[in-house]
Structures are given as C-alpha cells and as structure tokens.
Amino acid sequence: MAVARTRCVALVGVTGRLVEIEADIGSGVAGLHLIGMLDTALSEARDRVRSALVNSRYAWPDARITVSLFPASLPKRGSLFDLAIAMALLAAAGFVPAARVAEPFFLGELGLDGSVRPVRGVLPAVLAAVAAGARTVVVPARNAAEAGLVPGVTVIPATTLGALVSGLRSGEPPGGVLDGAGDPGHRAARPLPSGCPGEAVPGHDLGDSAAGGAEDGPDLGDVAGQPVARRALEVCAAGGHNLWMLGPPGTGKTMLAERLPTLLPALEWDQALEVTAIHSVAGVLPRDRPLLVRPPFVAPHHTATVASVIGGGSGMIRPGAVSLAHRGVLFLDEAPVM
C-alpha cells in the first residue's frame, strides 16, 4: 500500500484551476474519506467511485482510504473529479502503475457500471491543464472532440473505466488518441505517449471542417424592403455599435435582429475558443459542433430573471445570456419591461 497522485482541474466560473489528487491506502477503520472543501455532488463521489470499481471487476480495498484534493482552500464542485479519484485510488492499490497516472490529467464522471460519462466545461479545463504544463489529458469519449481543439496536448478518449485501466497497464490507448491540433477528426491509434506534447497549430484555418460547416440560419438576404433598417444593421455590424430599434409590433424588429450575426465576420481561432469555452461551461454546446466559429445570437425572454441574464447560481456559477452572447449579438426584446 502506498500513496498515488494524479491531476484534475477545478472550474471557477470559466477559468480552470489545477488540482492535485492524492490517494492513500493505510491501516485503520475501513472506509473512503474525501477531504479538500467539497460540495455535495463531489462528496457523493465515494459511492460512484466504489460502484464503478466493483462493477469493473476490481476489488475494493478493505482498508482506510484517504483521498485529498489539493489545494484544500480551493472550493471544488461537481462530478468532474470522479475519474481522477478512481485512477489515484487504483494506482495506490497497485492495479495501475503509479507513474502512468501521475502526469496525465483525468476529467470525467463515472457511472455506477464503470462507464465514463461526459461533463460540462471540458474545453476550459483542458486549456487550464495545458497552461499548467499538461501533455496528456484523459476525457470522456463524448468530450474528446471538444478537448481536441486545444493545441499542444494529446487527448485520450475513455468510454469505460475497465478499458482505460487495461490501456494504462499495457501502454495501448483504449480507443486511439487525438492530437490536440484543432482537428477533431484526426485520430491516430498508437501507444500511450511517454510525455511528448502535440504540435501547436498557430493560425489554424477555421474552415467548414472545424465545425461541420457554417451554421445555417436566417440571412439578411431573405428580407425584402426595409432599406433604412438594413443600412442601420450594416453600420452597426461594421463598427461594432449597439442598436436600438423602436416600432410597433409586426414591423420586423426581431426578424432583422436575428439576421445581424450573418453580417459579422467569422470568429478568429482564439475568439472561437473563448466563445466555445463559455458555452461548454454553461452546458449548451451542441454535440455535433465542438467548436463555434460563428458569432452567437442570444435572445432572452423579456420575463427572464436577472440571474439568467447576468449569470449566477448557488454553488457553481453558470454564465448568463450576456456571457453566452460574448463576441456575438445579445437581443433584448421588450427591453424597457425587463
């Protein structure tokens, strides 16, 4: 029995903070003890991790298990840490070589059957991991395309805990790897990396392949007439100005506002990552579009609450409509009554 370490990321808003996870299996009253300023969802990880290990055919250690999430002063929320806790525990118990879990970052929620489930905020978490010097990250398979947008890191998609452990033992990734070079379609099945980072791709082309093509939507070319309003939209888009439209119902204010994003240029690479990271944290990133390359359009209802417009929430803060419209268009219909 020994101490094993691995790494994960805690999300504070849309910013990731490095978290080191240590697992110690020693003498004492049998049980799993999690420490390090945890919320309720993370405190329940002891039950998810135990069931996932047992149902993956790994014996649960009959000993006192202490799992520490460092820094202890940083609040940690959500189920993002499940996979990292399980890997540190398995390494401490000797099921996985401790050296092979010490360097990678592990992100993901565990199902009771040992499946690795997708989580929100993978893109900003991987960005933070790379900033902290990560060269390899393990993420749920359904989040792999999103994580693969980050250059300079090797992404290993995981579907089940058992397959991941087998891959770490043998040195063969369970489902190939993604080289984080902004190309979610590029996958190369090869042994687990020994620590060589992927190649960054500055100035990567955000063409149709990056997001399955430009997003279809209403276009200003569909509007007949309205020459003054069309001119106002063009001036607004060209100069990045705010626009206030007044008029009785049915005159086309909403129709015109919905078409304003089509006049805006596509997002640059760093801008697209910013926008995608915000939508990932909010949990509204489309499954078929891991990278948003067009300026977003957000139109909250006029009865929306302050928290839904500005952002907020108890425990884990979630972006509101203002943040979701970052580098795009925020349309406040009936603004005087909001």
Q: What is the pLDDT of residue 187?
A: 39
Domain with 78 in it: what CATH number?
3.30.230.10
Q: What is the pLDDT of residue 200?
A: 31
pTM of the model: 0.80
Residues 171 and 301 reside in one and the same domain = no
Q: What is the pLDDT of residue 171?
A: 80
Per-residue DSSP letters for 258-313?
A: HTGGGGSPPPPHHHHHHHHHHHHHHT---TT-SS--S--EE---TT--HHHHHEE-
Reference 127, options 18, 204, 279; nearest CA is 18
Residues 170 and 245 reside in one and the same domain = no
Domain with 287 in it: what CATH number?
3.40.50.300
Q: Is residue 197 in some structural domain?
A: no
Residues 174 and 215 reside in one and the same domain = no
Residues 149 and 216 reside in one and the same domain = no
**Torsion of Cα atoms, 52 then 56 then 59 then 61, to 10°:** -30
Q: How many domains does the chain have?
A: 2
Q: What is the pLDDT of residue 114?
A: 96
Q: What is the pLDDT of residue 315?
A: 63
Going from the first residue of the chain to its last (338 residues), give the mean pLDDT of each consecutive group of 10, the final group possibly shorter. 90 91 93 91 91 96 94 91 97 94 96 96 95 95 93 94 93 68 40 34 38 58 88 93 90 91 93 94 87 94 89 78 95 77
Residues 125 and 221 reside in one and the same domain = no
Q: What is the pLDDT of residue 1?
A: 55
Which range marks the domain in which residue 78 is found?
3-180
DSSP H helices, the chain, are: 40-43, 45-55, 82-93, 98-102, 122-131, 144-147, 161-170, 208-211, 227-239, 253-258, 269-282, 306-310, 321-324
Encoded tokens for 140: 């749920």
